[in-house]
Amino acid sequence: MKHNRVFHTTRLRLAGLYAGTMGFILTLCAVGFYEAMAYSHVSELNHRIESVAGTLHDGLEASLQQPGKLEPIVQEFIPSLCIARTTCAYKSTATHYLGVFQEYGYYIRFVTLSGQLLASAGEIPTDLPVRVETEPWQTLEAPDRTRYKQLSLLLKTANQDAWGYMQVGRSLSDIDGHMVWVRLILLIGLPTAMLLVAIASWWLAGQAMLPVYRSYRQMQQFTADAAHELRTPLATIRANLESTLTPDATDADAWDTLRTVERQNGRLSRLVHDLLVLSRVDLQGLPAKQESCNLNDLVNDLVEEFSALAIASNISLTADIQTNTPITVFGSEEQLYRLVANLITNAIQYTPASGQVIVHLKRDDHHALIQVQDTGIGIPSKEQARIFDRFYRVNSDRSRHTGGAGLGLAIAQAIAKAHQGTIQVKSELGKGSTFTVQLPLRKDK
């Protein structure tokens, strides 16, 4: 396949289509996985911030009296609260809320309506910008490029006047660090997966095209063999006609030429007939009209018919029917007759003088078995796999003493398959061959 430019190009395109499709799907999956993981982490963090901020908001809002002023009770509520522009020292006395800040890295800030920082608590960098925005959620970035997720809630006094903002946030450094590793894994894993997909795509494209390529090669071989078989008789006819049409040709030469033309025309007719039989069996299978076929009578008739040919070749041809009960199958008697006839003809052609050909007929529980056994030249084991190919001859033997065009066994196999049967060969070089046809028995209604 690699030496054929058309198939090689098609394989490249098919592999590219496979790889491109799988690459697109893998990329979508990778991006989806990354976004889903990032969304999951951020959603979980937002939920925690909302929970902490909601609890603090509900606990503090009732104690606020004057806008922009922290009441002493707030410092009692959050002992670690550090007032802006004062020196703060860490206090070990901690409430539940302070414990949450210290354990999970949260911070809290109190900001006036104008954006002035009043106090803060928790793990918060001193240079984190203070923003007052209408949107409750903000993502802030410190000078060291550490990102923070922050929720701003409006606080009101007991008289429902706007007091200022409470901002609760947390660092995103652990989430960002985790996502960096995820990106690194995807950046390394995705190209590696794409490379493996490309290799697999090339192999799969080859496997997908292999039956097509084999069919293409068989078609090429069929064309070459058919051309060879047609060229020989046509060349013979032309040569004889040219010799006959010379001025010196006699009536005897003309008669010899006509007889040669008749023989070659017969060869061409048989070749065309065999090709038509193969085509008909391939396209149509069994004929619409089928019947019960008695294989006992069929074998006896064929042995009797080919006895003259066997005697002329000094070969013993006998039938061995191993049951007195009629063995019947359902199908086309004409095609089955042709199947067994081809096997007998093949056996006689490849069996030397004084040899023997035996046609066995027997049955098992579900099948009829026809075996054509000869003591001929045998078939090499490496050739047996191709013996049923059209126009195929062992060792490319195209000499005329064996007759035929190499289509007999191909026709026999096609007929056997059309009858839901099989045909097999066992052969040993120099000792002979046995062709076994297995056909399903007729089922009595």
For residue 22, being part of any structural domain is answered with: no
Averaged pLDDT of the chain: 82
The pLDDT, as a whole number, for residue 93 is: 42
Over 90: is that where the pLDDT of 226 sits? Answer: no
Question: How large is the average pLDDT for residues 114-141?
Answer: 82
For residue 367, being part of any structural domain is answered with: yes
Cα 44 vs. chain centroid, distance in angstroms? Answer: 42
DSSP string, 74-114: HHHHSTT-EETTS-----S---HHHHHHHHHTEEEEEE-TT
Do 431 and 304 share a domain, yes or no?
Answer: yes
For residue 14, being part of any structural domain is answered with: no
Domain boundary (140, 171, 202) is at 171
Say how far apart CA 104 and CA 117 lie, in whole Å.
Answer: 23
The pLDDT, as a whole number, for residue 92 is: 44
Do 154 and 297 share a domain, yes or no?
Answer: no
For residue 428, being part of any structural domain is answered with: yes
Q: Please give the residue that has the higher pLDDT: either 348 or 4.
A: 348
Domain containing 99: what range?
A: 64-171
Over 90: is that where the pLDDT of 262 sits? Answer: no
Over 50: is that where the pLDDT of 399 sits? Answer: no
For residue 298, being part of any structural domain is answered with: yes
For residue 279, being part of any structural domain is answered with: no
Do 166 and 306 share a domain, yes or no?
Answer: no
> To the nearest whole percent, how much of the chain has pLDDT over 70?
82
Number of domains in the chain: 2
Sign of torsion over alpha carbons 44, 46, 50, 52: positive
Say how far apart CA 104 and CA 81 lie, in whole Å.
Answer: 17
Q: Please give the residue that has the higher pLDDT: either 443 or 196.
A: 196
Say how far apart CA 352 and CA 337 lie, in whole Å.
Answer: 24
Q: What pTM value is reported for the model?
A: 0.50
For residue 209, being part of any structural domain is answered with: no
Confidence of residue 94 (pLDDT cuts 50, 70, 90): very low
**For position 316, which CATH number holds?**
3.30.565.10
pLDDT per residue as tens digits for the range 9-46? 888 898 999 999 999 999 999 999 999 999 999 999 99
Over 70: is that where the pLDDT of 78 sits? Answer: yes
Domain boundary (130, 146, 171) is at 171
Residues in Cβ contact with 280 at an 8 Å cutoff, skipping those fewer than 6 apart? none
Do 296 and 423 share a domain, yes or no?
Answer: yes
Domain boundary (135, 154, 171) is at 171
Over 60: is that where the pLDDT of 98 sits? Answer: no
Say how far apart CA 355 and CA 168 lie, in whole Å.
Answer: 105
Burial of 324 by CB count in 10 Å (0-12 exposed, 13-18 middle, 19+ buried)? Answer: exposed
For residue 83, being part of any structural domain is answered with: yes
